[in-house]
């Protein structure tokens, strides 16, 4: 499978919601409960780019099949060297090493921004996401019980952290 990774463009928004919305509607991996429109996703992309934080897309045969981005961890100034990471793949492309390739590229881009820490929240259970994060060097640092309610059940969230070399 030939896959290329490139920076996102606002014009990618429709393809990105095509990947994201099935997760919104059919899983607990995101706590959003309503589908996102391409215009909303374009605004999120623009906000991310204005913050000079990386957002990457993976393309196969000219089609976006995954994306990953870093966003601000918290709004307070002292958190400015910490970001939260996110990665989503088209389900047809999971289990093929694409998530690892895309996420590793995101971490490299985060490192190039002279940031210090990457944090990722994972709705639990999610063995494949935990394995991906731990393979990339993330360590579990927190577990919050029953903090989200979706699909008629309470969902735990774990937090994994990666400290980047100074």
Q: What is the pLDDT of residues 15-65, one digit of tens each?
A: 999 999 999 999 999 999 999 999 999 999 999 999 999 999 999 989 999
Query: Is residue 123 very low, low, confident or very high in pLDDT (cuts 50, 70, 90)?
Result: very high
Residue with structure tokens 């990618």?
A: 12
Per the CB < 8 A criterion, the answer to whether 55 and 91 are in contact is: no
Which one-letter DSSP state was computed for residue 37? P
Beta partners for residue 150, in sequence order: 153
Nearest Cα to 60, choosing from 94, 107, 85, 106?
94
Instruction: Please return the burial class of 141, using the count of CB atoms within 10 Å of its CB with bins 0-12, 13-18 and 19+.
Output: exposed
Q: How many CB atoms lie within 10 A of CB 113?
A: 14
Domain ranges across the chain: 3-163
CATH code at 3-163: 3.40.630.30
Q: Is the peptide bond before 125 cis (omega within 30 degrees of 0)?
A: yes
Reduced to 3 states (helix: H, G, I; strand: E, B; else coil), residue 98 is helix
Q: 79 or 2: which carries more pLDDT confidence?
A: 79
Q: Supply the pLDDT for residue 166.
A: 60
């Amino acid at each position: 499978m030939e896959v290329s990774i490139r920076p996102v463009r606002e014009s990618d928004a429709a393809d990105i919601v095509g990947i994201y919305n099935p997760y919104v509607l059919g899983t607990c991996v995101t706590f959003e409960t309503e589908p996102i429109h391409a215009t909303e996703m374009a605004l999120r992309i623009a906000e991310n780019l204005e913050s000079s934080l990386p957002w990457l897309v993976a393309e196969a045969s000219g089609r976006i099949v995954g994306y990953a981005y870093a966003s601000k961890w918290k709004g307070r100034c002292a958190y400015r060297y910490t970001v939260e990471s996110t990665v989503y793949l088209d389900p047809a492309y999971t289990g093929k090493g694409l998530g690892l390739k895309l996420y590793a590229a995101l971490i490299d881009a985060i490192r190039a921004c002279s940031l210090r820490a990457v944090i990722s929240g994972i709705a639990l259970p999610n063995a494949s996401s935990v394995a991906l994060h731990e393979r990339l060097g993330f360590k579990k640092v927190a577990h919050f019980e029953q903090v989200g309610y979706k699909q008629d059940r309470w969902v735990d969230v774990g937090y994994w952290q990666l400290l980047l070399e100074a």
